[in-house]
Amino acid sequence: MFIKFTETRGGTDLGIRVDRPACDDSTADFGSGSGTVHIEGTVTLNHDPVRCIAAIDLATLKGTGHLVLVEQSEVEVAAAAE
C-alpha cells in the first residue's frame, strides 16, 4: 500500500508492506466509503527498517501517521515468521 506523507518537502510516498494482523477496519464501511482504517506495516527508509502506523478516513482518504524505528530483533522475528 502506498501512503503519502504530505508534511515533508514535496511530499513523500512510501510503499508499505501491510501487516494485516495489526490493522483494524472494524469502524470502516467500504461500501459507503465512510469510517476510519488503522493501517500498520513496514518499510525500509534510508537503510533503516521502520514501522508505519496510520489512521485513514475513507471519505477523504486523508489521515495521520507516523514512523517508528524498528529494533533489529523485531526485524529478525518478523523475517522468521514469513
Which domain does 44 fall in, by range? 2-81
Residue 68 reports pLDDT greater than 90? yes
- How far is the C-alpha of 39 from the C-alpha of 22, rounded, in Å? 7
Domain count along the chain: 1
Question: Residues 45, 37: contact at Cβ < 8 Å?
Answer: no
- The pLDDT confidence band at residue 50, using thresholds 50, 70 and 90, is very high
The average pLDDT across 36-49 equals: 93
Question: Among candidates 29, 31, 38, which has minimal Cα distance to 3?
Answer: 38
Average pLDDT, the chain: 87
Per-residue pLDDT tens over the stretch 6-37: 888 888 899 999 999 999 999 999 999 999 99
